[in-house]
Chain A
Amino acid sequence: MNVDEEPIEYRKPLKWGELDPHRTANTRAGMWAWMFQRASAVALIVLVALHLALTYNRVIQFLLLLVISFHAALGVRVMLLDFRVVSVKYHRALIWGLLSLGVAVTLLIWFTIY
């Protein structure tokens, strides 16, 4: 059989994380930030619906406020990077810094203003 006549059968491309025992360990901060922001967006939809149904439930009110600040903090991070307000070198510091700020603002609103 002439090998040249047979087209080589390529294996379909491996996906990111496929057959990879180190998948979780190598999911780094920026990717977690992205995934958590998407997850919090879904959580927001659920919480807003719950908030409309149970407007005065304190737990839902607090969770909604917390998830909003969480989602906003990660969104602000992307905007700061987009507009070069902060160098991309500090993108990891931005995650923790802005998330802490978000939690602080949540608690401030909850205990003083609200």
Chain B
Amino acid sequence: MPRNIRVFRYDPTGGDDGHFDSFTLDIPNETATTILDVLLRLQQEQDPSLAFRFACRVNMCGSCGMVINGREALACKTSVSEIAPREEITIRPLNHFPVIKDLVVDMEPFFRKYEEVLPFFEPKHESAEPVQIRPDSQERTDIDGATECIACGCCVSSCTMAYHHEGYAGPAALNRAFTLLADSRDGLFAERLDRALASCYQCRTEFNCTEVCPKGISPTRAIKHIQRMALTNLRPNRPQPEGVSATTVHNRGEALNRRPWWKRLFSKDRQHPLAMATAVTCVIGIVYLSLMGFAAKRPYGQVVTVPDRPLTASETRGLYLYTTYACAYCHQIHGQGGYRTGPDLSNIVAKRRTRDYLVQYIRDPQQFSSVSVMPKFNLPESDLKALADFVLALDFSKYSARFVKREEVLKHE
């Protein structure tokens, strides 16, 4: 069955910023044909200038990573049959890497960032005997398949944060750092953790890397693991490296630590965002609660908010009862008054409660809500109706607000 194939083309000598070329290829057995086979056939049969990279053909070397129909994958692992029969096959080079020609990208940025997290093993102690780590140990099960990474770059290409944060090491490098950090034999734990952490907080938990990894690794899981390691290995408690060679590497974390905290707080290189966020939240919380405390000390019920219209006799009686029984202790009116233990009474108007409902509610609130802390007001029926009328009069969507002093209310009765 013939398939339409669009391949990204970029010729460094052409002066063009890249474009797609369309090809048509008859593919007899789609299940047994990979995208790499398609590219090889296109190169052999239709355009010998088509450039792409591959080596092992069996998902082991990670050379043929590319974006196939919007998804990063290895060309040698993706079967044509995985793409719906009527759908066009679109092949692009990986994102976030400079394009050398057609589908071939320069992986230098990938390996530069890879090196930033010290991707090599440096033993803590020299030992003539092999160290035994049981396959069922927590350490080994935590690392799990993360060591299977073939550095194909698919995860970095799929990660939107790799583009937005220049200093972000990216999923592959952090996954590599994790495999070493979780290894109890690691002699570079403190330095590696500092370096990995500087990058870890750029991850936005999008899971794009996990979705596309051809080896089924979850770099997101690795990144979360490193973040949790930071919690259990706070800087002063971190083990110091014991004179190993990599200590000559410039230690950015230590340099940062020498700066005063107020400079570190607003620095782009801040090292402990989680701890810093907790501290800032605590400070804001303390300030907020203090302000609320002061606010609660204000005298309440000295002024009552009423609608700016003449009140009926019943409503006036209700206003008097509201003031006498200190309803303002718990209920504000239109955001003015005392505490906010109960709902704002003008809000009750918005809920369209009836007069009968309010009468019964004021008489016995627990009848309607068993968790209500409002006391029962066993008043004469006329007073309860007057209170309900007053509450229902507090409709500030129709009338503007007017303020009445407490003394005036009590004087008029």
Contacts and interface: CB of A to CB of B under 8 A. Distances in A.
Interface of A: 8-16, 18-23, 25-26, 28-31, 34, 55-56, 58, 78, 81-84, 88, 91, 114
A20 B92 contact: yes
Interface of B: 8, 10, 12-13, 17-18, 20, 67, 69-71, 90, 92-100, 105-106, 157-160, 163, 204-208, 210-211, 218, 220-221, 224, 227-228, 334-335, 343-344, 346-347, 350, 396-397
A21 B159 CA distance: 18
The A contact surface, by secondary structure, is loop
B99 A16 contact: no
Contacts of B157: 16
B69 to A, nearest CB: 5
3 closest A-B pairs by beta carbon, nearest first, are: A22-B70, A30-B207, A26-B70
A14 B206 contact: no
A42 B84 CA distance: 38
Given A19-B8, A25-B70, A30 B211 contact: yes
A19 B20 contact: yes
Contacts of A13: 95-99, 105, 163
Contacts of A84: 224, 228
B206 A34 contact: yes
Nearest to B108: A10
A58 B348 CA distance: 11
B160 A88 contact: no
B408 to A, nearest CB: 26
A12 B70 contact: no
Contacts of A34: 204-206
A25 B45 CA distance: 32
Contact of B71 (A8, A11, A26, A31): A26
A11 B206 contact: no
B350 A58 contact: yes
Contacts of B18: 11, 14, 19
Contacts of A16: 95-96, 157-160, 163
B100 A8 contact: yes
